Structure formats: structure tokens, C-alpha cells
Structure 1
Amino acid sequence: MNVLFTKNFSVTAAQLHALKGSRYAVWASHTDPGHGMLAAADHTFLEPRGLLGDDYAAWLLDACVRHGIDLVIPGKERERLASWQESFAAAGVTLITPALETTQRHLERKDEFLRDWHTDVLPIPRWTTFDSLASFDDAAATLREPGVRLCVKPARGIYASGFRVLMDTPDLKSFLGGELYQMSHAAARELFASGELPTMLLMHTLEGAERSVDCVAWQGELLRAVVRRKGGEGQQIEDRPDLVEAARQITARYGLSGIFNFQTKDGPDADGRNRTPNMLEINARASGGLRYSMAAGVNFPLLLLDAATGVLDRTAIPPVQTGLRVAEDKVARVIHEQEVAV
């Protein structure tokens, strides 16, 4: 069966490599002929630049029919593509999107997501929004507590773009030490006064361990979840039944399919110790660190495709290998001049 991975981040190449030797012929498409996704696939073609929304969806459907694609795991425009599933199905193509378009957009808007979140699954830190210097000042006055640092981040964004922990005064030691995610409160006020702001979050900073939970699911059923704790040398694969149960509830509540991720950070428990996982965000896409979790014995893309095609034996899914410390080694790749069929 021909499975197509469309334009996505370079880390997607790890998923393509994981399907080598399987029953699936791996295809990849991208706008960049030198992209790592194309180097990892057996079959490739280029995507036109500049297509968005329904125009991109219509082009993709035509490309799938022309190339005999059976299944598609989209990266680009995955939200809008969710509303095209019936059109793809009518052409004999299974389009795997994480959830309904409205659900995906809800999860992308972190303020909407936090406002609607059920804290009986996992607690969340105190937070509010601002979109101007005046509302930032009001928000800071509301959230400020002794011994608690505040942090800011955009309500919409990926990875750590726009995230900063606010310091009362500039910290020379942190600056010289290469700390990239801190700024003084005064510098933040100067920045927020300089122009029109998107909706921003102001939150209590959680000072405990940070975790990323990588999940694979099909139609609201969790197939596997891998919990990895960040920090130190590499990342630690942990045995955390509580977070796996949270993953199961998240999957069912949002009706998720595919590979997705959620982030937690430990905050104070009843004794004031930072041991209670708090929900930060859910990403309806594979994380940038999925390769760490794949080292725990879970072939995320293979489980997904087998579930989507109805051949998955759920009793034979390997268990997650916990207690591992996983490191990532960067490698170099030569980009050859080559023509990629369109």
C-alpha cells in the first residue's frame, strides 16, 4: 500500500525510516527538493509553493489519484484537510487527520484550550491573557505572588517561540550562561509597548520536571503513550501510569487519531514540593522529540497505519520500554542535485 507523508518538519524523516521493510511503500512530498523527508522516502514528488486551504487540498487530492496513493498523513494544512475526508474517501484515499477541523483549531488556540480544559484530568497553572501593555500590567498585578515567577507565550505558536520567563531585574549570570528564555519585566513592558500584540498568555511558571508525552491513537482509542522527562543528558523514558491514563482520557475526549503529543510540567503538591504534573498544551501533531520515544520500542507510524487499515493486532503491540535514558546524535547528510518528479 502506498502511504504519503506531505510537507512537514524535518524530524518527520524518522517516521519514514521506521516504515522501512513494512507492508507500506513510503512516499513523501515537499516544496523543498533538498528536504530530509524526501531523502528518507522511497518515492517522492514536489509540492507547489504558495497553495493554501482548499486550493492545497484540491491539489493534494489530484496528486494522490495520479500517484496511486492509498493513505495520506498530512503535515501542511492538516486542519483544513480534516473537512476533505469524504472527498478523499470517494477517490479511494484514506486521509488520516488528527481530529475534526474545529477540534484541531481549538487545540491550537492555547487560551481557548486552557479555558475549556477539565482540571480533573490534570491541573493547570494560574493563567490569564493580555493583548496590550495595559492589559499586561493588569494581568501581572492579578497573578503576582511571592516566590512565583511569571512567564509569557503567544496563544498560538509552536515549540518555544515567544516563550520567556520574566525576571524582576536583568540577570547577568543567566545572560552569560546562554539562557535564552528569560527576560526582565522591564524589557517585556518595553517590548509590549512597541506595537500591536497578538493574544498572549501570562502564566505562573512551574519549576518542576518537564515531560513530553508522545501518543498514537485511532478514532478516539489510545494505542500507546510514551512519557519522556526532559533535562540532563538525554531524556528519560518513564513509567507513569497516571500520565498514560491522562493520555487515554485526552484521546477519547477529543476523538483523536494519529500521532499527537502533550506537554506537562510539575508544580507544587499539597506539601509545596514540585511533584504534581500540570497540563501545558496538547499538540495535534507529532512532536519534535518523537525520535526519543520511538527508541522505547514503539513504532508510532506503523501502529497508526495498521490501525487505519484494519490489520492491527492490539494484543501483539509491544510494551513501552521504560527506565531508558535516550540520547540523540546529530548526523550530516549530503544534498545531491537531483530532479524530483512532480
Structure 2
Amino acid sequence: MKAVAHTKVNRQSRKQPSFRFQENIQLYLIMLPVLLHIFVFSYIPMYGIVIAFQNYSPGDSFISLSRGVDWVGFKHFTNFFNGPYFWRLMRNTFTLSFLSLVFGFWVPILFALLMNELRNGFLKKYVQTASYLPHFISNVVVAGMVLSFINTDGIINAIIKLFGGSPLSLNTEPGYFPAIYTITTIWKSFGWGSILYMSAMSSIDPHMYEAAKMDGANRFKQILHITLPSIRPTIFILLIFAIGNLLTANSEFILLIYNPILYETADVIGTYLYRDGLLGGNFSSGTAIGLFISLINFSLLFLANKLSRKYSDYALW
């Protein structure tokens, strides 16, 4: 009898995976387009990484059996490390990304907390919609707005003159660029970035707030002891992603607003790749630099995930 029962259990355990697949077939079909998109646009192009280790020219084969490929090893990496712009590019990229992380990461959290405390439904929807709109404005339009604002006769200098000050050369002075970039980046992204936090807050049990009110907790204490602990997993996960992109500045926006006078503080790795890799036709060098930055970002992501798991029990894996 025990042998028969054991055989039945084995048969059931063998059938479970197929039953689970049939039950979740609709979920798998929903995931299929996303997985195909990731595979086609994220994994297949990795084949081109090999040109970072060769002198590649457009039209050449990556790996050819009929004609030789000019393999150069780590030449393009060493040329970049020993180049005159390496430390400037690393410093500017890290500085701009770090400023956006330090001053911009907490803004969506604070905004979501304030929106969660609003009781006027119409006002809440209006403010949310207004905060989302900058995310949908293209970088070209935003760059045009910024350049018109910081111009010598722009609105910022007009306000300075109104209070008796002297106009500032905001678009020709390198020292002002980090602040301009950081403020614009925060303005453009904080509303969209608050969506996940507000979604996490919507899942909090209202009875927890009612119990806190009965215990005499004011709104600030409710935020401190209920809201923030409830969205802590979301905060840590997004922080890990932000640290993983620490060497990835918004190069497209920078390209639209900077000029050679601002290279001292505005020239980042992405803008250098555009000038040297695309405009200069140095595809192998550009691929090597991109691969190097990807490895650094992955290392930062891995380290942030490990530290988060160790000290907070929240991690990606």
C-alpha cells in the first residue's frame, strides 16, 4: 500500500508543472511580447561587443572566417584610460549623476507623501496631472525652454534685474551648469517618479491610520510610523536602481544645452561617445567605453543590492 501511495505521489508531482503551465498560460502569453522585446533589443545586440577588441570599420564582419579581423585586445580601453579627457569625463558624469541622486531621489517621496495627505479629490488630481506633464515633454523642448530662461535677457536674469542685481552669464559660465542640469532633471522627473510611491501608499490598510488616530497620533506621526515603513521596500528597490545608474547622465539633454565653453563641467561620457564614437567614426573605441561604463554600473548595482540585503532585507535578488 505504501508503495502504491508513493507511486501516486510521484505521478502527481510529475503532473504539477504541466498543470501550472496550463493554469498560467494567459500570464505567459502576456509576458511573451515583453520577453521578445528584451531578447531582440537587449541580448542580440550584445554580439557587437566584440568590436571593442578590434579595429572595426563600418561594413566589416564582426567575426569573419574568410578574411582576417584586426584584433587589438584592450587597446581601446587603455587609450581611453590614458587619454586626456578620462578624469574629466568620469568626474563630470559622477558629479551630475550624484547631484541628481542626492537632491532628486527624495523629492518624489516627499511629493507622494504630500499628495497622500490631500483630502480634496479635485485638487489632488489636478496637482498630480500637472506634475506628470514635464515627463512627456521631449528633451528638445525642455532644452529650448532652459536656454531661453538662462539667456542674458531671459526670465531668470529679468528677475535678478528686478531686484537690482547684475545679469549672470548662466549659459557661458561652467560653474552654473551642474545646478541648471540638476534642477531641470528634478523638475522633469519628480512627478512621474512619485507614481510608484503613491501606488504603494494606496495599498496601506486604512484601519492602521484609524488605529493611530485613536492612539492620538497626528499626521506627522502617522507618516513617520505607518506610511514610510509601508513604502520602505519600494524606496530601497528604486534606490538600488538609482545607484546602478550612477555613471549614466542624461546625455541627450546635455547635448542640447551645452557648448564647448561648458566642457569643463558639462562634458560627460555620453556626450564624448557621441562626438568621438559617432561623429568621429571611432566605433570600436566607443564600444569599449560603453562596455567599461556598463561594467562599472553593474558593479555598483551588485554592491548596492548586496548592502541593501545585508542591512535592510530588501533586494532585487
TM-score by length of 2: 0.23
More strand by share: 1
Structure number with higher relative contact order (C-alpha < 8 Å, ≥ 6 residues apart): 2
More helix by share: 2
TM-score by length of 1: 0.22
